[in-house]
Amino acid sequence: MKHRMAFLVSLLLLLSALFGGCAGGASHETSTTAPVQQALTVKMLDVGQGDAILIQTAEQNVLIDTGDLDERDKLRAELDKAGVKKLDAVILTHPHADHIGGMEMLIDKYPIGMVYDNGMPSTSRVYIGYMKQLKAKGIARKGLCTGDRVDLGGGAVFEVLAPSAALVQQGSVKGYKHDPNNESVVGRLVFGDFSMMFTGDAEKKEEQDILAGAQGAVQSTVLKAGHHGSKTSSSADFLRAVHPAAALISCGVNNDYGHPHKETMKKYHAMNLDIYVTAENGTITLTSDGKDYHITPERGEKQ
């Protein structure tokens, strides 16, 4: 009887090992091998001259930047159209008004799980205002730097490439002269074999810093054009390293800056990229199953 009982216990343990998996194996898992669940949707929202990009996974709604102050109603309308009732996370790339202008409205109107930014202080009135709101509502905030990974659920991960920890430390010293564009949170959204580079307003200086210090690959399937398609961004070296198949540009109709600049568009066309611009195409929707992807503009065709 004892031998039979021992045999049964051994058999159960073997079956458990075969069908239950090994929990210890998770420590070896990388972002590119994380299990993909359902589909990923990325919407570059049409919010005028600013950035607001909604990422929807099987588990979370995540917003990267929030548009400008005078486009808050448009931002809310776009979120309503996407069926957003709450935001699990908001990632703010840098404290310029056309990237953080919608934060006070979001905090007031939507439950927010976590706010990420570049971890540096700012004297911006808009920044100071929403920081007070975060504290009043008890919303957690965390600074991001190179090497951080934000789990977006459903197998999607945001891998942070900039700013570096050294720059964050410098930028936290009183009296430091900030260069907000080149302190942008830059990172890759990775979902199975699909990846998308998010650049904030990073200019050539930060692009070079990323290439010099990147711990992992920067190659990405799709590029969110830096600084609204400005000629100050999208350096030749950076474009070669990222080697995207498509570029998405967020900018306003007939904006005062002339975005996207002809120099940038010429580079993109030379690479035979599929180019979409919110000023012409409205909200741009990208979907991916972790292997293939599809881009659908609200109106018009690729540029």
Structure-token match 């498509």, residue found: 246
Q: For residue 22, what pLDDT is reported?
A: 26
What digits encode the pLDDT tens for the residues 123-163?
999 999 999 999 999 999 999 999 999 999 999 999 999 99
Task: Confirm if 130 and 100 have CB atoms less than 8 A apart.
Answer: yes
Residues 196-247: tens digit of each pLDDT: 999 999 999 999 999 998 655 899 999 999 999 999 999 999 999 999 999 9
Dihedral angle at the C-alpha atoms of 116, 95, 147, 294, nearest 10 degrees? 80
Weakest mean pLDDT among 35-39, 119-123, 126-130, 163-167 = 35-39
Domain regions of the chain by residue span: 39-297
Give percent of the chain with pLDDT exceeding 70: 86
For residues 56 and 87, give the distance between their C-alpha atoms in angstroms, rounded to a whole number.
10
Token representation of residue 120: 């540096």
Taking Cα atoms as reference points, which of 152, 136, 139, 228 lies closest to residue 187?
Answer: 152
Q: What span, in angstroms and rounded, lies between the C-alpha atoms of 17 and 21?
A: 6
Q: What is the pLDDT of residues 281-302, one digit of tens each?
A: 999 999 999 999 999 999 999 9
Rounded distance between C-alpha atoms, residue 55 and residue 53, angstroms = 7
pLDDT for the residue numbered 213: 80
Predicted confidence band at 90 (pLDDT cuts at 50, 70, 90)? very high
CATH class of 39-297: alpha beta
Percent of the chain with pLDDT over 90: 84
Structural tokens at position 240: 């070669």
- Please state, in angstroms and rounded to a whole number, the distance separating the CA atoms of residues 279 and 24: 49
The residue to which tokens 């120099």 are assigned: 263
d(CA 145, CA 117) in angstroms, rounded, equals 9
- Where is average pLDDT lowest: 32-41, 101-110, 217-226, 257-266? 32-41
Three-state SS for 171?
helix
Report residue 158 CA to chain centroid gap: 6
Q: Locate the DSSP E strands across the chain.
A: 40-44, 53-56, 61-64, 87-91, 112-117, 140-143, 149-153, 156-162, 186-191, 194-198, 222-224, 246-249, 274-277, 284-288, 293-297
Q: What is the mean pLDDT of the chain?
A: 88
Q: Determine how many CB atoms are found less than 10 A away from the CB of residue 56.
A: 23
Q: Which helix (H) or strand (E) holds 282?
A: none
Give the N- to C-terminal CA distance of the chain in Å, as an integer.
77
Q: Is 133 within 8 Å of 107 (Cβ atoms)?
A: yes
Residue located via tokens 């006070």: 104
What's the confidence (pLDDT) of residue 20? 31
Q: Tell me which amino acid residue 99 is.
A: H
Burial degree of 242 (CB within 10 A; 0-12, 13-18, 19+): buried
Give the pair of three-digit tokens for residue 209. 């810093």
